[in-house]
Structure 1
Amino acid sequence: MSEVEYVTEEPAHNAPVVLEEYNAAWPAWFAVEEAKIRGALGERVVLVEHCGSTSVPGLAAKPLIDVLLVVPDSRDEDAYVPALVEMGYYLRLREPGWYEHRLVKGTTPNVNMHVFSPGCVEVERMLAFRDRLRAHDEDRAEYERVKRELAVRTWERVQDYADAKTQVVERIIARALG
């Protein structure tokens, strides 16, 4: 596992994960965030996409909008973080050993913005996973079943819940890229 530097600490979760039935408003929530991001960063946006479970119609999810943001260089935080902070986001963590990933958070609505640089293989994987779930009912059902089974457990950190889904996520990505 790569080194993680938490820029902003958050309290332990120590609870189950609450999943909601698909909400048709989630794409509109993303559209608002996308407009904020594009307005703040302008030409520094290489790509911005709605990803994660709220981007898949019919899939139960945490009411959390996952945003995939590609900027020219995710390591160059001065080129994008201050503008995002002005829009109400904050830098949550850095993962220099995992594609120079940065996680930027928003609170209203709850947003996880995953920031990468162009050419990062994880961008392709995230979009392939999303697109596979959108197009294949059996994969979406398998993923939702695992999510529901895991969600009822008590998790110290929500990331632990996400990590517990790795096996099913990797199976679906393998089918998507196969």
Structure 2
Amino acid sequence: MPTSHEITSFSDAPAPPGETPWVAGYETREGDIEIAEPDPSWPASYERVAEIVRSALGARVLQLEHVGSTSVPGLPAKPIIDVDLIVADPADEAGWLPPLRDVGFIHTVREPWWQEHRCLKLPDPQANLHVWGPSAAEPWKHRIFRDHLRRDEADRLLYAAVKRASAADANSRGETVMQYNARKQAVIREIYTRAFSAAGLPV
């Protein structure tokens, strides 16, 4: 388990020199960023993704969580299900990656320098599967943020507003999803501060 300091800290360090997070030429695509109104079917879509992952990996699934905006009732979101998967060792790709590829996942991101993070995409239902190890702090952040937004209406409304404004600005400038995320960062970290404090973590 990560320390409290690791959970509440953020890193903006870029990829190491000469490294790229993109797998096999996969890279961010420009295009309109869709922010959909809250959809009550998103939890069911997560359950479909979870069943696909569990059927493929069996006991290798140490933990699976629906995270991101589609996991928060009443919150607008990009209509893509975000899922955190904990495996024993993300670096041991031979142990967990082939079964996921066999059921339709596409490996898009490999970031061993950032908590051994990997990301895969599933076309149907549309999902991002984030793969982490047991000591990674990021999944803890995601769950704390999710649970805070489920409880706190004011921060949920604040986040909804910044998502819509950031998407509109990014779309008008033809920006990527990463640039859209950067537009939200200050407000996200402001909300994280309140979420950490509510959870009893030092901030």
User: Which TM class, normalised by the smaller chain length?
Assistant: over 0.9
1:2–1:98 contact (8 Å) kept in structure 2: no
Task: Report how many residues are paired.
Answer: 177
Helix, strand or coil: the match of 2:165? helix
The reply on whether 1:71 has 2:90 as its aligned counterpart is no
Matches of 2:82 and 2:46, distance apart in 1: 8
Aligned partner of 1:165 in structure 2 is 184
Give CA deviations for 1:106-153 in whole Å, capped at 9, x if unaligned: 111211111110021111101000111111001100101100111112
The reply on whether 1:128 has 2:141 as its aligned counterpart is no
- Report the AA paired with residue 69 of structure 1: L
Structure 2 spans left out of the alignment, 5+ residues: 1-12, 198-203
Matches of 1:74 and 1:173, distance apart in 2: 26
Aligned partner of 1:39 in structure 2 is 55
Matches of 1:176 and 1:35, distance apart in 2: 30
The reply on whether 1:53 has 2:69 as its aligned counterpart is yes
The reply on whether 1:105 has 2:124 as its aligned counterpart is no
Displaced runs of 4 or more, over 2 A: 153-156
Identical amino acids, percent of aligned pairs: 40
The reply on whether 1:16 has 2:41 as its aligned counterpart is no
Q: Cα distance, 1:10 vs. partner?
A: 4.3
Matches of 1:131 and 1:119, distance apart in 2: 20
1:12–1:156 contact (8 Å) kept in structure 2: no
TM-score when normalising by structure 1:
0.94
1:65–1:110 contact (8 Å) kept in structure 2: yes
RMSD across aligned C-alpha pairs, in angstroms? 1.3
Give CA deviations for 1:62-97 in whole Å, capped at 9, x if unaligned: 110000111001111111110100110011011111
Aligned partner of 2:175 in structure 1 is 156
- Report the AA paired with residue 177 of structure 1: F
Matches of 1:160 and 1:109, distance apart in 2: 25
2:28–2:177 contact (8 Å) kept in structure 1: no
Matches of 2:29 and 2:67, distance apart in 1: 25
- Report the AA paired with residue 50 of structure 2: E
The reply on whether 1:80 has 2:99 as its aligned counterpart is no
